[in-house]
Structure 1
Amino acid sequence: MKDKMTEYSDSKIIIQRSDSSIIATHFPCSCIKDKENLTILCNRNVFEQNESQPDEILTRDKYSVFYIFKKGGENMTQTKFLRSSPGPNTDDLCVYAKKGTSVKEALERDGRFVGLEDFKLCEAKTESTESKTPIKYTESTERVDNLDQKKFKIGRERKKFDTKSVLDAAQKSGISVKRAMEETGSKVRPSEIYKILCKQFQDLKTWMESRFPGDSYQKALKLKKQDFGKIQQSFSEVHRVRELLRLGGSVCLLKFNAFRVTVQGTGFLLFDNFILTNAHLFKMCTDLPSDKWRERVKITGTFNYENPNCDSNKEEFTAKLCGGCDIGRDYAILEINQTAETGEAELPPGLLSRFGRLPDNGEACLIGHPAGEVKQIDPTCIIPKKETNPAVRDHIFTLHSINQEIRKDPYADIYVAYNSFMYGGSSGSPVFDAHGRVFGLHTGNVLFNSGKPNESSIEYALSLLDIFENFVKELKKRGNKELLERVKEAAKGNPYLKQIIDRLKTEEPMETNLPTRSEAPQ
């Protein structure tokens, strides 16, 4: 027998008392009756797992000893709460605990129970009290002091059916029905869900038939698969991902505070200590003269905000509005304040030298801080201008016809459109192509009429080459030769920027010859 026992660890040993109940291997001897017989059995599976250190053995009066039936009670009949089965020769487990200990602490320390969340003890009825007395419950947080020699079943409180509150919570928070059930503590009736779906089906069928006549649905689905395949292929190669992550180091979270209003946005390092972002982030200052913006607007920013649980890598700074701010073309240039302290910090590389043409189609990738959250990447696909109308029709409700808005906008030729999950707070994000060139400044969108403020049908980016050309023209107009030379130095090696600079040397008018936004028809 001794040789056979050595094959089993303590975690597989079952000790049975003379009353057939099972005790833990750490059960104190002071709680065992004199001359009581104990039967030691060997289990094939782990029955007990106790990692706590053994305590000093106390006298019997310092403990409460109670019993837990191996079969679950109310709402626990199908739930596993024992590490493994104690076998057919017993009905209950004998548990001990120091007085003053809670029920939950006692069962957790015991080592034979698992998955005990939100439970309670239901006092087991005897045959004589089966129908005479109501069930008494002991909460898991109660002390064990009054449980000595009593028998219990482990149970749970029955969840109430409240389909409406669960669905309302799911819709309001944008979470799954399963998660809403967990958070509300209620259940849904499948029959009620079925009725709701049946009511919606006819409207859905009518809409689908009007939207996809004939076999157009299969054709549209095929095009979507092709677009997804292109995106996946372009941004699945490791070297492209690494390059995007490196370039994304130049992207920063921005916060603008004025008149007790805080606006969040995104920007990226242009060159030296200058940042490019959208001018519409200063909308709270529309009625304020531009020469007053510097003193009224407080600008702070953060590089490397990528992990919400780690502050060690974040690099925070303050900035001020530079002379380059064009409300019409919706861009602003910020200058990071250089102090004795921050001047020593090394800034990430600027993206000016990576500027490229505005593509007509193909893959794209945004890097930004939507809703002021950690930095995120969103691969997408550019919507060719001739396909803008079908893209709009991909959504059943819209506030505006995007195509009509573009026709009214004299700046339509300097836009590129795409779908993206990037919403409020991501304005000012750089938009890259599949080759790592940055071509756009993520700027605007058109919202659904769906009651969800963070959804939009089509997003837009402004041409960075157009912004650069306008910025250089403004520097020349103001006679800021020092900053102009710094711009030229940072633009060296980029053929697109060189072409713009060379053309503007002769002070020729810009090819687009567009009016300012204030002059553009509304």
Structure 2
Amino acid sequence: MSCKKRRSQISFNTRKNKKIDDYFSQVPKEEQNDPNTPQVKVDSKKMPRDITNTRDQRPLSPKKIQQDQTPPLNKKITVTLGVNPRKHKKMKYELSCSETSSLYAALNTLNAVREEVESRKGREMLVCGKEGIEGYLNLGMPFCCVPEGSHVVITFCQCKSKTEENKRFSEPQDQASTNYVRFFIHAVCSKGKKILKCRELSQEGNKLCVYGFKGETIRDTLRKDGRFCSFVESDDWKLINDLDTIIENTQPVDELEGKLFQVAAELPKNPRVVSVTQSSGLENRNFHKIELYIVNEYTTLKEEGEKLRAYIKEESEKRKKKASLFNVHKEHFGKMTKNSIPVKLNKHLSRVSDSVGFLWWNNNGNSGCATCFVFKELYILTCRHVITSIVGEGIDSSEWAKIISQCVKVTFDYEEFPLTEDKFFVVKPWFEISDEKLDYAVLELEENGQEVPAGLYNGIGPVPLSGLIYIIGHPEGKKKSIDGCTVVPPGSRSKNCQEKFQAREEAGCCFSTSFIHMFTSLRSFQEMLHNSDVVTYDTTFFGGSSGSPVFDSNGSLVAMHAAGITCPYQGGANNIIEFGSTMKSILANIKQDEHKYNTIFGNVQDAEMLSTDS
């Protein structure tokens, strides 16, 4: 068959057969000679012969490239609005959003969240992780930092100073997810003081989830966070991990991932109190200036001017009298509380203080501290309510010994900061001797090659009915210290409490007589007032000092500090009376079970000798 005839049998479809130019985007004529227009070079060796002479083509348009790229990944979490149960019926919302969004922008993709934000103008949104992520989250946190499947709860509060503008929270994040570091900080510092601007967050047990960039310093990260007080602008603060490791704020955040820290900082005194003290001398002068201006400016007041001046003069005289009365009270109070400690007693208290220990625990995020002391050999005493705080509510008692051994540490050298890891003892998985009514518990230390301080069991004395006693412990988890305080005799307990209530009422606590009667009639309060198993006193030792030994003025061990009665006052608490279980009652309770008694003291002969001495 001839070539001509063969070509005539081949049908040509213009729709299916395109020119080579049709496979490339066309360059407009005005851009063909433009030297700035990017060109695509064609390798003639790799192209078919019939297209080797095809001109260079422009690359794919930006729109085409954007369509070909992999879209950003979406992440799903669960959101609960914990603010209006009637409206939202505690429903959970499923949220799916791009990882490049901020947390705030992601949450605002939900209509329910936007409506709630709109209805609560002037209030700040708080987001707390419940599952998958813990702590209160920063609204500007990149959504990629929130693990897939997490559950967060949204509430609102009235904060005096907002952390950041919501506009900034809505900005997209351009950092890779691997560049972020996420760690956690307690809401109160190591000294129990508030470090956050928002009062709602500044509660014991709360923690903040903080994020930073790798290579960024700790100081810059906390400054950027926006939720911390002004102390972050200074250099004099640091982070503490596990109570024994200090990390300076100039260090990078790279190694902090997933760890929990406390802030150690010397916070200034309340500036409001300072300003009031400094301005008190100007108050009367300013008041007089205002009064004179009003009288001279308005002629209708001239007739009443003399009366007004007389009234102001009278009020000023009252203020002066109150000020002088305050000074008298201050001197009188100083005389009442002034006391001296004999050198012999001081030396003895210094020796026995070596046996007082700092007890600390961290049970899967449930952390706290208390005081304990060596009773005999490896056995230590602390309060039963401390053990309850360690193991948590609803845990079967059969699991207590195991939990205690896994999360409790004890050291006897916490006299200066910081603590050292090699000084800690751990506790054996043994818990058999305790009593809820007397609020005591016995634990046993695990031997680790260190010398255990001497036990205090052979220095027990009778309970003093009056005079001075001395408590040695770690109040609020601070360094070991001694507090000398006055014994409240059993017959004066009720009167002492009544006087404390009345003093608080006169100071502006707004206690009514009916409230005082109601409070003092509570069963637990009455039981304490008439309980012969406790010694009562006035002390400044509060949280963290439970389990502290109590000594009389002869240096004898007489009780173990247990608890106190407090009342709320202007956002804080005032002490009414404190008490501790007597060692005589604790020993008598242990002796009721001969096996338990011999476990500690070894044999009946030692037990009888101890009973005779006490």
TM-score, structure 2 as length reference: 0.42
